Every structure is written in C-alpha cells, then in structure tokens.
C-alpha cells in the first residue's frame, strides 16, 4: 500500500499543528494558567480583549504593518527587478547581494540594526548626534518604534520579493516585449503595458502572502522592542506570546491567536484558491 | 529576454541598482567592520577603520556565547530536521505527484492551509503539552516541530521534481515486477536527488536561523541554539558590541559562504513555490 507513504508527514503534521490548533480554539473559551485545570468562561476572554486598549493598539499596528508591506517592499522589488532586466549582465550579481539579508538570521539582523545603526551610544544615530544632527533612536520613542522595526524588516525582506519578481519577469515571452519595442513603446511604457500585466499572477500571490505574513510578524518586534515602549509597537503575535508565557493567561493568548487566525483565514482562502488552480495545471 | 536601452536609461538603472546595493550592504559592512574593533572605538565612531585589528573579539565571542556547545546544538538540530523533512517529504511528494485521484486534493489543501497557519495558533497548547510530557529542552522534539512547519513547503517543491520524472520509467519498472518501494528508492530517488539537495539546503537554512520556536522550547543552558545564545548574549546590558558583532559573524559566515557557492539552488528553490512555470 504505497499510499500509506503519506502517513509520516500526516501524523507529524496532525500531532504538532492540527490538534494543538483545535485546542487553541477551545482554550479561547477557557481561563487557564497552563498548569491547573482550565475553567470554562465563555466569551470572557474576547470581552476582556475588547476592553483592552493594548489589544486595539496591537491590532492597529498589524493593519499599519500590512499596509506598509503591501506598498514599500513590493514597489522596491518590482523596481529593482525590472531594472535588472536592463542591466542584464550584472543582474545575477545584484540578485545575490539583494538576497543576502534574507539568509541572515532575524536575531542577528535585529541586533546589528539595534546596536550599529539605531543606538545613540554605539550606532550611526549616536555618531550623527555628535555631529549636531538631531536624530533620535526610533525604537525608544512611542511615536516611531513600530516604523523603526518596520525599516529593519523591510531591509531584511524586500530582496526576496525582488528575486521572485525577477524570476517571473524573465518568463514574460520576449516576442511580446520586442513587439512593444518595435511599435515604439518607451522603457516605462513597456513596463506598464507588457511586463507588469505579464507577471500579475505572481504579484497577486505575493500580496496575499504579505497579508498573511503581516499578521504573523513576531521576530523583529520581539527582538527589537518586545512591544515597547509602553506597548506602542505591540503586535498581536507578541501580545499573545506575552500573555501566555509572562502572564500565564493562556486562555487570553488563545483568544488573541484566534483573532490573528481569522485575519489570516480570509487571505488563506484566497491563497488556496490561487494555488489550487495552479496545482491542477 | 533582452532589453537594450539608451545610454541615459542605462545610467539611471545602474545608479538605482547601486543605491539599493549600498543600502543592502551597509548594515552587513558595519557588522564585519566592528567585529574587529575594541568597544571604545565603536563608541567613538562605528564607521571608522579600526586602528588595530582586534581578533580576540572572536575568541571572547566564542566563549561568551558558549559556541563550542551551541553551534554543535544548532548543527545537530539542523541535521535532524533535514533528514526528517527530506525522508517524510519525498515519500509524500511521490504519492501526490503520481496519483491524480480527487481525494488527494484534500491532503494538498490541508498542507497548503497549514503553511499559512500562524505559529501562535498551535504554539501554546503545544508548549504546555510538551511540558507535561517532559519534552521541553529536547532537541528531537523541536526537530519534529520544524518538520511539521517546513514539510508542506518541502513537499510542494519536491512534487515539481517528482512530476518531471517520465511516467514510462515508473510503468516499465512496475511491469517488470518491481514493488512501489523499489520504484521509489531505485527509480525516483536517484532522479529527484537534485531536488532533495535543494530542499535540504533551504530547510537547513530555515532551521539554523529559526528563532521563535527555538527560544521557546530550548531554554536550558546546554540546549540553546547558536542564534538564541547570540540573542541572550547581545541582550545583556553593558555588553561589548565588538564581541557581539564577532559572534554574529561566526553564525552568519558559514551560511553566506554556502549561499554564495550554491546561489542558484537557494534562489531557485526559495522562489520555486511562488513562480509559475
């Protein structure tokens, strides 16, 4: 029975992901400290969240994050990828360099930015201050902490999109591009009317994934600010993590996880539709 | 595809690409430069060239981050994950690539859905469940978590390699009386081995760099991974940033060397799931 070959994958996946995920959904309706018996509390966890200003800050931050990441890295990636088509001979060199931040561990990227760039003591910010330029460490201001983190994640992330868009652009049929050029289209007209429509499926997929990933963002927030100062850079995932492991309010954490998943779910449905169509070929 | 452009466009393009190049390399350059500087010089000017190269940053980083132990832990965890993902993933990809029966669609949907499931959706019950069974600080348990999280991606990638194997080869072997296991090991595995190597590289990269799960499930001093040990070291107050950057370089360097040597595999593999064709 060779069909049983799927069993190892399936068992591991169900034990590690599916069962705990179902338990999370159930736990959202319980009060639990992780050790003693859970107590059923109905919708109390969600009611507490509704009245919790930190929850609303975190949710807003996730939405802001999504908007930033739908615009900035996708634009940067598309811009660089189309330009790499022109700079064909050096394209591979640029591609490899742009991809470097993707392969560096988030913990390391976070610390390098924190210590070498943002820090007023050891970083570029401090150096500029000594030259009399008025810059502050964005991570320590409530108004800018989230954006300070977003910049780090952007630096880490955009190269991935660039490489993906470049791979897609190379598959646009060259006859289409030549036809456009013969008819006198300029470089930017070619981009606008031939190249962008040509890779639209890839752009759509990356936008869906951006929405999903934006609600999962954890590493850089946890590493750089732990959600601070004064919860100003808190996102749902760090809020859930803190609730579960610092406050031992596992039920509340589960409720937050359910909220994250609901946002992800909408995007996931679209994602599966798009992917499944491709899967059928 | 080729685009020949006017001189002006060529200039604009190269300048833009160069600016993006500088933005990308600047933080990395800061890391390398300050890894060989004493703390006092970093405070003075992080951009300045070191007056003398301070190599003992590396020996101090090695002992402060307990790299003798933690790099070994990371290597073992990464190796276990690679073996688990490749073994279970290629078995599943073999079935998924060959059977066009409707019921397999459900499995595919399930796997696709689980790639987008937030870690927080299963993290908390998993942690407290593992705690009950004494599986915290157990690298084998963590390798299984990584396997669950990464194998859907691996399967989708492997499936394209399995699809490329000619059907005739499989049919001929089956007619000659080979079992499915023999077809899988003798016919398929040799042909799809480049795909397995690509998957191994990418999964290796992911598990080497992984932070959230490692920091949650491996907290014992003797079980820390290199990345988590680095995170804890660099979080201490009054730390020496020269030493921290040296520690960062120790973790990053093997990955970067491997990446530059095998760039095509990394880039094509990571982009593989996302681009049609």
Chain A contact set for B270 (CB, 8 A): 102, 160, 163
Cβ pair B96:A6 closer than 8 A: yes
Check the CA dihedral A115-A121-A125-A131 and report its sign.
negative
At B96, is the pLDDT very low, low, confident or very high (cuts 50, 70, 90)?
Answer: confident
What are the residue ranges of CATH 1.10.3720.10 in chain B? 65-235
Cβ pair A27:B125 closer than 8 A: yes
Nearest neighbour of B271 by CB, restricted to A83, A104, A164? A164
Work out how many domains chain A is built from and give that number.
1
From CA A104, how far away is CA A107, in angstroms rounded? 9
Which 3-state string (H, E, C) describes chain A? Answer: CHHHHHHHHHHHHHHHHHHHHHHHHHHCCEECCCCCCCEECCCHHHHHHHCCHHHHHHHHHHHHHHHHHHHHHHHHHHHHHHHHHHCHHHHHHHHHHHHHHHHCCHHHHHHHHHHHHHCCCCCHHHHHHHCCCCCCCHHHCCCCHHHHHHHHHHHHHHHHHHHHHHHHHCCCCHHHHHHHHHCCCCHHHHHHHHHHHHCHHHHHHHHHHHHHHHCCCCHHHHHHCCCCCCCCCCCHHHHHHHHHHCCCCHHHHHHHHHHHHHHHHHHHHHHHHHHHHHHHC
| A213, part of any domain | yes
Rounded mean pLDDT, B216-228: 93
pLDDT digits (tens, 9 = 90+) for B74-87: 999 999 999 999 99
| A81, part of any domain | yes
Give residue B120's pLDDT: 86
pLDDT digits (tens, 9 = 90+) for A149-203: 999 999 999 999 999 999 889 888 888 888 888 888 887 888 888 888 889 888 9
State whether residue B130 sits within 8 Å of chain A by CB: no
| A197, part of any domain | yes
Closest-CA distance, B97 to chain A, in angstroms, reads: 10
Chain B contact set for A13 (CB, 8 A): 110-111, 114, 148, 151-152
Cβ pair B124:A244 closer than 8 A: yes
Nearest neighbour of A106 by CB, restricted to B23, B126, B209? B209
CA distances A254 to A48, A58, A60, A93, A227, Å, are 13, 15, 19, 45, 18
Q: Which of residues 217-276 of B touch A (CB under 8 A)?
A: 227-228, 230-231, 234, 241, 244-245, 248, 251-252, 255-256, 259-260, 263, 266-268, 270-271, 274-276
Closest-CA distance, A48 to chain B, in angstroms, reads: 19
Cβ pair B252:A108 closer than 8 A: yes
From CA B183, how far away is CA B190, in angstroms rounded? 11
Question: Which class for A42: exposed (0-12), middle (13-18), buried (19 or more C-beta within 10 A)?
Answer: exposed
Rounded mean pLDDT, B106-131: 85
Chain A contact set for B260 (CB, 8 A): 96
Percent of chain B past pLDDT 70, that is, above it, reads 94
Residue of B nearest to A243 (CA): B124
Please state which of the ranges A69-83, A141-155, B64-78, B237-251 shows the lowest mean pLDDT.
Answer: B237-251
At B168, is the pLDDT very low, low, confident or very high (cuts 50, 70, 90)?
Answer: confident
Whether B96 contacts B159, CB under 8 Å: yes
- B65-235 placed in CATH 1.10.287.10: no
| A94, part of any domain | yes
Q: Which of residues 86-105 of B touch A (CB under 8 A)?
A: 87-89, 91-92, 94-96, 99, 105
Residue of B nearest to A181 (CA): B3
Q: State the residue range of the domain holding A76.
A: 42-280
Nearest neighbour of A108 by CB, restricted to B17, B180, B248? B248
Chain A contact set for B151 (CB, 8 A): 9, 12-13
Tokens of A118: 């943002």
pLDDT digits (tens, 9 = 90+) for B205-219: 999 999 999 999 999
| A25, part of any domain | no
Cβ pair B17:A84 closer than 8 A: yes
pLDDT digits (tens, 9 = 90+) for B1-18: 455 667 888 888 899 999
Average pLDDT, chain B: 88
Residues 6 or more apart whose CB falls under 8 angstroms from that of B192 comprise B90, B158, B161, B162, B165
At B275, is the pLDDT very low, low, confident or very high (cuts 50, 70, 90)?
Answer: very low
Chain A contact set for B42 (CB, 8 A): 122
Nearest neighbour of B148 by CB, restricted to A17, A113, A244? A17
Nearest neighbour of B10 by CB, restricted to A86, A96, A276? A86
Give residue B107's pLDDT: 82
| A110, part of any domain | yes
User: Domain with A264 in it: what CATH number?
Assistant: 1.10.3720.10
Here the ipTM equals 0.89
From CA B222, how far away is CA B110, in angstroms rounded? 36
pLDDT digits (tens, 9 = 90+) for A38-92: 889 888 899 999 999 999 999 999 999 999 999 999 999 999 999 998 888 889 9
From CA B149, how far away is CA B52, in angstroms rounded? 46
| A235, part of any domain | yes
Give residue B272's pLDDT: 67
């Amino acid at each position: 029975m060779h069909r049983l070959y799927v069993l190892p994958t399936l068992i591991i996946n169900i034990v590690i992901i599916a069962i705990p995920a179902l338990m999370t959904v159930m736990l959202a309706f319980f009060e639990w400290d992780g050790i003693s018996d859970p107590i059923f509390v109905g919708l109390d966890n969600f009611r507490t969240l509704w009245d919790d200003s930190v929850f609303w800050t975190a949710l807003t931050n996730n939405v802001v994050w999504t908007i930033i990441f739908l615009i900035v890295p996708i634009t940067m990636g598309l811009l660089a990828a189309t330009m790499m088509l022109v700079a064909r001979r050096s394209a591979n060199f640029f591609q490899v360099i742009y991809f470097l931040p993707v392969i560096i561990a988030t913990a390391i990227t976070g610390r390098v930015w924190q210590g070498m760039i943002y820090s007023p003591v050891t970083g570029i910010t401090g150096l500029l201050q000594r030259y009399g330029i008025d810059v502050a460490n964005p991570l320590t201001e409530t108004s800018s902490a989230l954006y300070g983190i977003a910049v780090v994640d952007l630096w880490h992330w955009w190269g991935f999109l660039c490489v993906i868009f470049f791979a897609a652009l190379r598959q646009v049929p060259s006859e289409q591009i030549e036809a456009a050029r013969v008819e006198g289209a300029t470089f930017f007209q070619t981009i606008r009317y031939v190249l962008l429509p040509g890779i639209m499926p890839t752009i759509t997929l990356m936008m869906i994934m951006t929405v999903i990933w934006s609600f999962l963002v954890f590493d850089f927030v946890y590493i750089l600010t732990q959600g601070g100062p004064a919860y100003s850079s808190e996102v749902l995932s760090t809020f859930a993590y803190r609730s579960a492991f610092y406050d031992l309010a596992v039920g509340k954490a589960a409720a937050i996880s359910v909220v994250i998943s609901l946002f992800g779910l909408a995007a996931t449905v679209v994602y599966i539709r798009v992917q499944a169509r491709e899967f059928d070929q | 595809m080729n685009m020949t452009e006017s001189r002006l466009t060529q200039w604009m393009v190269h300048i833009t690409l160069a600016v993006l190049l500088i933005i990308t390399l600047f933080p990395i350059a800061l890391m390398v430069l300050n890894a060989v500087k004493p703390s006092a010089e970093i405070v003075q000017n992080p951009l300045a060239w070191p007056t003398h190269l301070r190599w003992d940053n590396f020996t101090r980083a090695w002992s402060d981050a307990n790299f003798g132990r933690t790099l070994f832990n990371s290597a073992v965890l990464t190796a276990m994950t690679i073996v688990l993902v490749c073994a279970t993933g290629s078995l599943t990809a073999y079935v998924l690539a060959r059977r066009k029966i409707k019921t397999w669609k459900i499995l595919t949907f399930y796997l696709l859905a689980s790639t987008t499931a937030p870690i927080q959706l299963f993290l908390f019950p998993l942690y407290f469940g593992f705690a009950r069974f004494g599986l915290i600080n157990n690298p084998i348990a963590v390798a299984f978590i990584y396997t669950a999280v990464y194998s859907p991606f691996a399967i989708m990638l492997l499936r394209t390699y399995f699809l490329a194997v000619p059907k005739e080869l499989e049919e001929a072997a089956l007619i000659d009386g080979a079992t499915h296991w023999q077809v899988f090991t003798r016919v398929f595995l040799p042909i799809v081995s480049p795909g397995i190597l690509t998957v191994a590289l990418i999964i290796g990269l992911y598990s080497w760099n992984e932070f959230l799960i490692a920091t949650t499930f491996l907290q014992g001093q003797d079980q820390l991974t290199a990345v988590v040990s680095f995170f804890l070291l660099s979080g201490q107050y009054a730390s020496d940033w020269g030493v921290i950057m040296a520690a960062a370089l120790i973790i990053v360097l093997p990955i970067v060397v491997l990446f530059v040597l095998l760039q095509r595999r990394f880039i094509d593999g990571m982009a593989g799931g996302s681009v049609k064709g």
